[in-house]
Structure 1
């Protein structure tokens, strides 16, 4: 992958008013801060090398939104993501010849989501942002998952705001507005950074500022994403270091 030199910070006094008013930066986590696909592929290569790790990771992730949608639309009560991940895992294991795994093996594999590795720029970029701003996670992951992930990956959050706090999976407005409420700031003082345009669009609809983070290889090097800028976002950044620089950090 090409190397990008760390950009210097902008003068905060020169920031546009919309960005100068930002006090809190919250991040989508899966794909934006941590490499879920690569982490699962590496796990499979070590434990079950006969399995196509790329296909396995994509199949597991494909169950993510449908499982949450059943909670969002009220067809099932609030359920944490660890449980939803496990249900999807149990469903796909036979497809990959792993239907024989016992409970201990299934439980350990399900916790791979607690052991995801960060993108190379993530920890340093978050630390740089924390020099001036409150920095947190805003993820559909549950609190236990996100806390153990931060410990594993060295993510220096000021706070972990999970959908579990609000009992609302993104993109429900309660998740985005909940950040402003619990941190006692106006929605416009919160910026969401994410590698997913649908997440950012939902945040903007709630009055948050938004920054797109390019993660071309979220789905692996064999399946690069289109990371072209789209209208509406306040910032479009190659990585978290570039976001920090753009915010004067």
Structure 2
């Protein structure tokens, strides 16, 4: 694709685009919930935990709170969800809570992800522009075999997407101007924020990220530069 001839770096959203967070978190939460008699469906528990994600980051984005890493926010959010189900986090072993929180670093890639990334890597440098922290992305990459060249994102920028700094400081860190980078994501709002800064855009269809009743991001909201069924299809369209 000629429009990508000058592109040197592909930045990836990870949660939902590259890995299946919902199924993975539910699977790891299930024995914890059963062990402690918490009567909630594991998939619903994963959804409730994820629902705290954006509100907790918004406090940082708005300046209400200084930047803290996503693993810290996730641990706080876990406590809020447990309280909602009548469980006092302080009454549970800290080691178990810490282990459950690491579920976000043990997420299964979608079936096409590793092959698609490996193919894209033949032509482009690749790495996450994620709201996760560097250690979390490193651990997730080792768990799932994700072949990143570099890890950038929120911890580099000290703020969270879709704040412009998250994209711009990440691209600056890999030594390129925005027009020589592209954002790859399954979320239209992520691509809109990147596009406004001059990045090219690749939309990946993930209609089951939120389960069978997903109602968001089922299709591209705009005429993105590339619209692909999955990462293997994106690699094919980009000549990889």
TM range (shorter): over 0.9
Q: Which moved more, 1:189-198 or 1:36-45?
A: 36-45
Q: Tell me if 1:148 matches 2:158.
A: no
Q: Deviation digits for residues 175-203 of structure 1, max 9, x if unmatched?
A: 11123211222211101000110010000
Contact 2:208-2:214 within 8 A present in 1 as well: yes
Per-residue deviation, 1:22? 1.4
CA distance in 2, matches of 1:222, 1:202: 26
Q: Which residue of the partner structure matches residue 30 of structure 1? A: 15
Q: Which residue of the partner structure matches residue 64 of structure 2? A: 75
Q: Tell me if 1:48 matches 2:33.
A: yes
Q: Which residue of the partner structure matches residue 239 of structure 1? A: 230
Q: How does 1:124-203 map to 2 (within 5 A)?
A: 124-203=115-194
Per-residue deviation, 1:246? 1.2
Q: Which has the higher contact order (CA 8 A, sep 6+)?
A: 1
Q: Tell me if 1:86 matches 2:75.
A: yes
Q: C-alpha root-mean-square deviation of aligned residues, in Å?
A: 1.5
Q: Deviation digits for residues 194-230 of structure 1, max 9, x if unmatched?
A: 0110010000011000011011110112436452232
Contact 1:56-1:96 within 8 A present in 2 as well: no
Which consecutive aligned stretches of 4+ in structure 1 deviate over 6 angstroms post-superposition?
Answer: none
CA distance in 1, matches of 2:195, 2:44: 33
Q: Which residue of the partner structure matches residue 214 of structure 1? A: 205
Structure 2: 5+ residue stretches without partners: none
CA distance in 2, matches of 1:148, 1:31: 17
Q: Which secondary structure does the structure 2 equivalent of 1:33 belong to?
A: coil
CA distance in 2, matches of 1:76, 1:225: 29
CA distance in 2, matches of 1:219, 1:105: 25
TM-score (norm 2): 0.92
TM-score (norm 1): 0.89
CA distance in 1, matches of 2:97, 2:4: 45
Aligned residues: 234
Q: Which residue of the partner structure matches residue 19 of structure 1? A: 4
Q: Which secondary structure does the structure 2 equivalent of 1:215 belong to?
A: coil
Contact 1:28-1:192 within 8 A present in 2 as well: yes
Q: Which residue of the partner structure matches residue 248 of structure 1? A: 239
Q: Which residue of the partner structure matches residue 6 of structure 1? A: none
Contact 2:159-2:165 within 8 A present in 1 as well: yes
Contact 1:171-1:202 within 8 A present in 2 as well: yes
Contact 1:215-1:225 within 8 A present in 2 as well: no
